Each structure stands twice: as structure tokens, then as C-alpha cells.
């Protein structure tokens, strides 16, 4: 047995922990770049408190999943401010942009020197600025990962800027920051969080560390999401935040699978929100993987299905379909309704076959298996 563990050196989890953030951030620097979502609803109290502590702040809004053009514009804006520390206060897209900025502001070259697949994928020459992650949605787990996902629409791909030193210096996961999150965002991001505890659990790259995080998070994560589709509930928000953090830690130290392999390609080609793609594909991927898997990997898939079935009061054999049906009834559209043409399925499957996430699937997949997942996602359940 051999594996490594990479995670933020300090994680604060729980309601009220965000109140500690200004003082902790101020200890890392006087000039603070705050990357936030379009609404910026949590920024005023944070910036005001930093000002009281003698810090200067610059706010940058991130209203969509970051692209290379967005990143390059943000780098130009931020370099003139000369920040000493970068805070991401928002959802997964915000954290990705903030993480990328922390890496690229000190870098002597451009982002394409370091981006994977479409760039040179060179190691960072300069150490990133300290990065503090404060998620306001429960989904991507980006507060615990060492990569930032950047879209390149002209290439139809999403790729990563990746370095061990990009891991957050401090992650503050305060579920209160997710209270009142819009229902559609809660659904899509929550299904992404669920995918990120299920895929590492069934992955061929699972380790005892990732197992400890994921196995016990599947049932309470889904139960919390079901509850939040019915009513706003602080306890469910807490459980969902823990599911998201667990998934982020697990994917950073293990593997994902076909859901995320397909999602990276689809998101790059269409601009559909990442969480929505993962939510649509999770059930179909479980179903297809169960059909093509045997032995110990199959047993893990069956266990995940059993936990889903417990929450949805379904037969375990029908758990993948029950999950897809529940998500659709909760308001998640089909991929074709969000912008992926069915005639593009083959091209998407072909591209996803070489995705790094796909390599973590329980067993190797073919383009035909990936196309079956896409087709099943469009079918009535």
C-alpha cells in the first residue's frame, strides 16, 4: 500500500468560522485581493473588517466559470494593485479564478506557459501568493484542491492550471455562507458534491484516505440535498458543506471517473454549468459502470447504489434511474435542453476518453460506453 496526502495545512469548518477570516487573512498581508461572485453579497462585511484591521482591498467579480480571457484580464487588473494575499469568497468558479490569480500574479510568463493540454504545462517558476478559500456554495470542493479549471471556448475544452503549491493556505468552510443559496444552484452544486464522493469511492485510484472521506458521506450528502429541495434547513446546509469538502479532499488525493471526464469536455464545448452536467450524468454513469464492472469494483458501485436507494426509498437495482428521475423532478434539465446536441455525443465521448478524470473510472471505458451514458442521460427514467 502506498499513497500520499495533499490538503490545505489549515481547514476551519463550521458555522461562524468565517468571522475569523479577516484577522487570519490580515496576518498574511496588508494588500488583499478579494475575488467574489457577481452578487458579492458577502463582501461588504469582509472588506469592512479588513479595513478596520488596516488592510487595503481590491475586489474582482467573477460572474461565470473562468476562461483564459477572463484570467488574463484579471491578471492585468490585479498586478497593478500588487496584492500580497488572494481570497476567493464565492462558488467554485470564484475559487478557481482566485487560485489561478494567486499562481499567476507572481509568474514571469503567461498562463499558457502553465496550462495543461493546450499550453506548455510548465511548472510554476515562482511560488504562488498565499490563497485563502471561502466557499459560498457546497459543490466543487475547490477549497481543497491544487488545480484551477480554466475554460478555452475556442478549443472546446476546460483544462487545469496545476501545482502542489496552489493548495489553499487556509480553507474556511462556513456553511452559513451557503444559507439562502438559490435553489437551482443548490441542486446543481449539490449533485456535483455527491458525484465527488461517489466517483472517488468507486474509483480505481481509491485509497484508505479517500475511502474514509467518501464512504460515509454519500447517504447524508444526498439526504441533505433532498431536504434542501424541500425547505431551507441549516442542518442540511451543514451536511452538504461537509459532503462538498469531503469530495474536494478525496478528488485531490484519489481519482474521479467518467462523469467528470465527460463534464470537462461538455462544459468546454457548450458553457453548461459544471454541476448541472455532473448531476445529469451521475445516474447514467453508475448504471453503465455497474453493467461493465465485476468483482470488488462492482461491489463498491453496488454499495453506492444501496445508499442512494435508502435515501430515495427505491430498489437498489433501480437506484441510478431513481437518482436521475429525482434530479429531473427537482428541476435539473436534460443536457439537450441546456445546449448539448445529441449529434455531438460521439465527438464528446471520443474527447472524454483521454481526459485525466476518465482514467480514474472503476474500469477502463470505451467511447461506446461513454456514448451509452450520454444516451441514458437523455432517456426517460
Q: Which fold does the domain 182-378 belong to in CATH?
A: Dehydroquinate synthase-like, alpha domain (1.20.1090)
Alpha helices, H only, 15-155: 21-26, 43-52, 68-79, 92-104
248 contacts 142 by C-beta, under 8 angstroms = yes
> 359 pLDDT exceeds 70?
yes
Q: What are the pLDDT digits (tens) for 66-85?
A: 999 999 999 999 999 999 99
pLDDT digits (tens, 9 = 90+) for 262-297: 999 999 899 899 999 999 999 999 999 999 999 999
Q: Does the pLDDT of residue 107 top 90, yes or no?
A: yes
pLDDT for residue 210 = 98
Nine-digit cell string for 240: 452538504
Residue 119 is predicted with a pLDDT of 84
Q: Where are the domains of the chain?
A: 11-177, 182-378
Contact 249, 213 (CB under 8 A): yes
Q: Average pLDDT, stretch 184-203?
A: 98
pLDDT tens digits for range 247-268: 999 999 999 999 999 999 999 8
pLDDT value of position 75: 96
Structure confidence by residue, pLDDT tens digits, 122-165: 899 999 999 999 999 999 999 999 999 999 888 888 889 999 99
- Of 26, 28, 34, 31, which Cα lies nearest the Cα of 53? 26
Of the candidate CATH numbers 3.20.20.120, 3.40.630.10, 3.40.50.1970, 3.90.650.10, the domain formed by 11-177 belongs to 3.40.50.1970
What pLDDT, on the 0 to 100 scale, is given for residue 152? 87
pTM of the model: 0.95
The predicted structure's pLDDT at residue 381 = 65
CA distance 306 to 216: 12
The three three-digit cell numbers of residue 83, written as one number: 496584492
More confident call, 142 vs 121: 142
Amino acid at each position: 500500500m502506498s499513497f500520499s496526502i495533499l490538503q490545505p495545512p489549515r481547514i476551519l469548518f463550521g458555522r461562524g468560522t468565517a468571522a475569523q477570516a479577516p484577522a487570519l487573512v490580515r496576518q498574511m498581508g496588508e494588500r488583499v485581493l478579494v475575488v467574489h461572485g457577481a452578487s458579492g453579497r458577502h463582501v461588504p462585511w469582509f472588506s469592512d473588517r479588513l479595513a478596520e484591521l488596516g488592510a487595503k482591498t481590491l475586489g474582482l467579480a467573477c460572474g461565470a466559470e473562468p476562461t483564459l480571457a477572463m484570467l488574463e484580464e484579471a491578471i492585468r487588473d490585479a498586478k497593478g494593485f500588487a496584492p500580497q494575499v488572494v481570497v476567493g469568497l464565492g462558488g467554485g468558479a470564484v475559487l478557481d479564478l482566485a487560485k489561478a490569480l494567486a499562481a499567476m500574479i507572481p509568474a514571469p510568463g503567461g498562463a499558457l506557459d502553465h496550462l495543461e493540454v493546450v499550453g506548455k504545462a510548465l511548472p510554476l517558476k515562482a511560488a504562488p501568493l498565499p490563497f485563502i478559500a471561502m466557499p459560498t456554495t457546497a459543490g466543487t470542493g475547490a477549497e481543497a484542491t491544487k488545480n484551477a479549471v480554466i475554460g478555452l471556448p475556442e478549443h472546446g475544452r476546460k483544462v487545469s492550471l496545476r501545482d502542489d503549491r496552489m493548495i489553499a493556505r487556509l480553507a474556511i468552510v462556513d456553511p452559513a455562507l451557503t444559507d439562502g443559496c438559490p435553489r437551482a444552484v443548490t441542486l446543481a452544486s449539490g449533485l456535483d458534491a455527491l458525484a465527488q464522493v461517489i466517483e472517488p469511492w468507486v474509483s480505481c485510484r481509491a485509497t484508505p484516505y479517500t475511502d474514509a472521506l467518501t464512504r460515509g458521506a454519500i447517504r447524508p450528502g444526498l439526504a441533505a440535498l433532498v431536504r434542501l429541495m424541500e425547505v431551507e434547513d441549516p442542518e442540511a446546509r451543514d451536511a452538504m458543506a461537509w459532503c462538498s469538502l469531503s469530495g474536494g479532499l478525496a478528488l485531490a488525493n484519489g481519482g474521479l471517473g467518467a462523469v467528470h471526464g465527460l463534464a470537462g469536455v461538455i462544459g468546454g464545448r457548450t458553457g453548461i454549468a459544471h454541476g448541472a452536467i455532473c448531476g445529469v450524468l451521475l445516474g447514467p454513469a453508475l448504471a453503465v459502470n455497474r453493467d461493465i464492472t465485476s468483482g470488488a469494483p462492482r461491489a463498491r458501485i453496488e454499495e453506492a447504489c444501496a445508499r442512494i436507494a435508502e435515501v430515495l426509498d427505491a430498489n437498489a437495482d433501480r437506484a441510478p434511474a431513481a437518482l436521475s428521475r429525482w434530479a429531473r423532478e427537482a428541476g435539473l434539465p436534460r443536457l439537450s435542453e441546456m445546449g448539448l446536441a445529441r449529434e455531438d455525443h460521439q465527438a464528446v465521448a471520443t474527447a472524454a476518453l483521454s481526459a485525466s478524470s476518465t482514467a480514474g473510472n472503476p474500469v477502463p471505458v470505451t467511447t461506446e460506453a461513454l456514448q451509452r451514458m450520454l444516451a441514458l442521460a437523455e432517456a426517460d427514467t
